Amino acid sequence: GPGYLSASAYVNTTPITHVTRLMTAVTEAEMLRTVAVMAVLCVVLRGSLAFSCVCSPAECEEVEDADCPRGAGTVWDPCGCCKVCARTEGEPCGGPYGFYGSCASGLQCVVTDIMAENAEGICTVIPGTDIKCGVPRLVSGCNIVGGHCRCDKVPTCPDDRPFTFKSMKECKMNLAVMIQHTHSIEEELTPRGP
């Protein structure tokens, strides 16, 4: 897994291997469009941490729930202007200004790599909601969701690991590191006076 702090020590491990997945043309087109928009925004907004949207609904592609993969349904884009397909389990989400997208219903965007420059998360099933085994066990832990530590005790299957962190203390330590890392990156991008 990614490097993160435990309550007792810093653990530095190799990054998670990306899961290969088949993508529909709609999802692939959305990703390409999102990357293009982000590239343009990086050039236009370079040095500025402000974000503003220019919404032109006439330029939005019509996307219906039926067009989206695996019943993901639609959500509003980060600007609240156009409907786009929601992200499905295992897909990237969140990121700067939410440009990686929002998760489908029943999923949450969990940040697992606290040192990533883009604060990207992965859409995961909300712990305790999708139990597919005969004898679940109760597990407690925490995840970073929406920039906050979210802790719970949920039933889960023995092989499932629904939480990134074992305790609120461990989660808060890692959240503080993530926030500090994000501020360091923002400072690097902020132009300095002559």
pLDDT tens by residue, 145-160: 988 999 999 999 988 8
- With bands split at pLDDT 50, 70 and 90, how would you rate the model's confidence at 163? very high
Question: Is the pLDDT at 184 greater than 90, yes or no?
Answer: no
Instruction: Kindly report the number of other CB atoms within 10 A of residue 33's CB atom.
Output: 14
Mean pLDDT of 92-109: 90
Question: Is the pLDDT at 18 greater than 50, yes or no?
Answer: no
Question: What radius of gyration do the chain's Cα atoms show?
Answer: 18
Apex CA 125: angle with CA 114 and CA 79, to 5°?
A: 65
How many angstroms separate the CA atoms of 130 and 6, rounded? 27
Mean pLDDT of 80-97: 92
Spatial contact of 12 and 3, defined as CB atoms under 8 Å apart: yes
DSSP SS3 for 87: strand
Mean pLDDT of 21-37: 43
Residue 51, pLDDT score: 63
Residue 193, pLDDT score: 65
Residue 180, pLDDT score: 85
Residue 37, pLDDT score: 44
The overall average pLDDT reported for the chain is: 76
Mean pLDDT of 79-106: 91
- Higher-confidence residue of 115 and 156: namely 156
Residue 33, pLDDT score: 53
How many angstroms separate the CA atoms of 91 and 99, rounded? 13
Residue 114, pLDDT score: 76
| Lowest-pLDDT range of 22-31, 71-80, 118-127 | 22-31
- With bands split at pLDDT 50, 70 and 90, how would you rate the model's confidence at 1? very low
Mean pLDDT of 106-134: 85
User: Which of 51, 48, 50, 38 minimizes the C-alpha distance to 189?
Assistant: 48
